[in-house]
Amino acid sequence: MPIEPSGRAHPERLAVRVPEHVVYRDFAEQTVALNLHTGRYHGLNETSAEMLEALREAPTVAAAAQRLAPSWDVDPGVLLADLLDLCDGLESRGLIETHVAE
């Protein structure tokens, strides 16, 4: 399996899941995530919420980027980098877990 310089799996093999101790709720202008282990709330703007939804539904981070790309006017490489940055931020807060896709 290819490993990126960051130490994580290549985006074609990197998958995301939301742990059971995290709940999400959509509101008019943002999505709120609650980490039940820490009791902390985290707000996601509309863009981040849409990215998270794609990450949750797609089998890999690269597939999430492919899903979003047609409706977003952004370079695919930039989109993939943004998704990986979002993963880093959410994972550091315990809001997602990443793993190697089967």
10-32 pLDDT, tens digit per residue, is 889 999 999 999 999 999 889 99
Q: What is the pLDDT of residue 1?
A: 42
- List the one residue out of 28, 23, 3, 29 whose CA is nearest residue 14: 3
Range of the domain at 30: 14-93
Residue 29 in domain: yes
The pLDDT value recorded for residue 47 is 94
| DSSP H or E segment with residue 41 | strand 40-44
Q: Is the pLDDT of residue 6 over 70?
A: no
Q: What is the pLDDT of residues 53-75, one digit of tens each?
A: 999 999 999 999 999 999 998 88
Count up the domains in the chain and report the number: 1
- Give this prediction's pTM: 0.87
The Cα–Cα gap between 73 and 100 comes to: 29
* Domain contains 9: no
pLDDT at 5: 43
In a domain, 5, yes or no: no
Helices assigned H by DSSP within the chain:
46-57, 61-68, 76-92
